Structure 1
């Protein structure tokens, strides 16, 4: 078990905490492997519905561990990318709970998550250019998909930070809280976990994959995925629970 990444189950939610507060939760090899292992667990265990990624000590993540970088250490996991996340997401929803700083690789971990809840005092940025580096773990490619092109260009080329309010205004953050970001993320996670897990997983898959589908193939490609939802036991259970005015008991199939 990793000493730099801790996991905790809260009902159907898996909380994954980067625990290197002395290094502002900078990602080294061990942390990257710990996150990857936790995400494998999230997808493997049926009772887990949603994951939350957060950081200990009031900071989300300050990026790559530069001391480790100078030692030749790689914080990339083969097939999964930086921090065990940026190149391959879990099939289940993942929420970033951001306190303090989400910078460089930390921002790239944040934008690799499906949703973001941030404390109002959070600071975000990709300042790699200030160190003669580049945001090559997804910042340069994924950030323009999530915010206006010119704003992404400014953030990358100046290295300047933005605050949570600006991130929310740009659509980079789902919810801003004056209280605990983790508490806010738990509230969002529980709202998701209350829904049919198969419907949630396939809905996420379609939203992610359809960005690469051409207009001519969208309906056909969607039609290859949605029948398993409508023909599922959960679909029948959801309709029955509605008719009987009770909470559904999901099976995930």
Structure 2
């Protein structure tokens, strides 16, 4: 990885840090591709269970690096994958955003592509594209009305005005609020709580949570049984039962 996107590993948790504070962690094409490679590593490595995305220097991400785009014309959107490599194709494994400062424009959409959000009390969230005659095309215009009441989503999308962290938490956009400087650690703690669970069960649960939104009730019952059958018959399911009976931590193999 480059100096502008660096990756750490912590007991089953991958931490991806956008390290471009001189442009408020706005992404250019190269940084976006580095993030996509990191997420590919997350999904491919059985030792990694959960990912965390953070920003260096007190800002999560201010969206697209407009100066880099103006100078070279290179977009941070990756064909088939979207902004940062995740807005159009989420990773299979859980992903947590650790937000301090601004999550703005594409940065807000990057946050929406994560499964959970830990934010500082001073964080700010916004989709100001209409103020520049643009449309939030990396997911916010579609996903935000699914996540918050439509009138609230439309106010954010059509005025371009930001909201604070407490309001974002009230709306359900943020899981946990913590003091400034503690979001990264809190996100890693949340990731660790997920990583401690059976990886097969976590993966199928995430699939059901997202794919099930498009199913009828009858389809959801049928597909839940079908998709969970392999988990129930797995070595991990037997190990979970044994560990519970023996009052010890389970040792997962992902099989």
TM-score using structure 2 length: 0.97
Shift of residue 2 of structure 1?
Answer: 2.8
Query: Equivalent residue for 1:152?
Result: 153
5+ residue gaps, structure 1: none
Q: Distance in 1 between matches of 2:219 and 2:243?
A: 35
Check if 1:87 corresponds to 2:88: yes
Aligned to 1:208: 210
Aligned residue in 1 for 2:43:
43
Aligned match of 1:72: 73
8 Å CA contact retained: 1:4, 1:30: no
1:107 is matched with which residue?
108
SS in 2 for 1:172: coil
Look up the match of 1:221: 223
Distance 1:148 1:28 in 2: 32
Aligned pairs for 1:23-42 (under 5 A) are 23-42=23-42
Matched residue, 1:16: 16
Deviation at residue 194 of structure 1 after TM alignment: 0.8
Give per-residue Cα distances to partners, 1:121-167, cap 9 Å, x unaligned.
00000011111111110000011111111100000011111011000
Note the residue ranges of structure 2 that are not aligned, 5 or more in a row: none
CA distance in 1, matches of 2:226, 2:136: 35
SS of alignment partner, residue 227 of structure 2: coil
Q: Which residues in structure 2 correspond to 1:99-248 (within 5 Å)? A: 99-179=100-180, 180-248=182-250
Structure 1 counterpart SS, 2:192: helix
Greater shift, 67-76 or 199-208, is seen at: 67-76
Q: Which runs of 4+ in 1 moved over 3 A?
A: none
Deviations 1:21-47 (A, max 9, x none): 000000110111011000000011111
Distance 1:56 1:141 in 2: 28
What is the Cα-based RMSD across aligned positions, in Å?
0.9
Q: 2 CA distance for matches of 1:7 and 1:103?
A: 22
In 2, Cα distance between equivalents of 1:216 and 1:206: 14
Aligned residue pairs, count:
253
SS state at 1:8 partner:
strand
Q: Which residue of 2 aligns with 1:55?
A: 55
**Matched position secondary structure for 1:16:** strand
Contact 1:2 1:30 in 2 (8 A): no
What is the Cα deviation at residue 68 of structure 1? 2.4
TM-score (norm 1): 0.98
SS in 2 for 1:91: coil
Separation in 1 of the partners of 2:62 and 2:205?
31
Q: CA deviation at 1:83?
A: 1.2
Equivalent residue of 1:225, what SS?
A: helix
Q: Distance in 1 between matches of 2:219 and 2:200?
A: 23
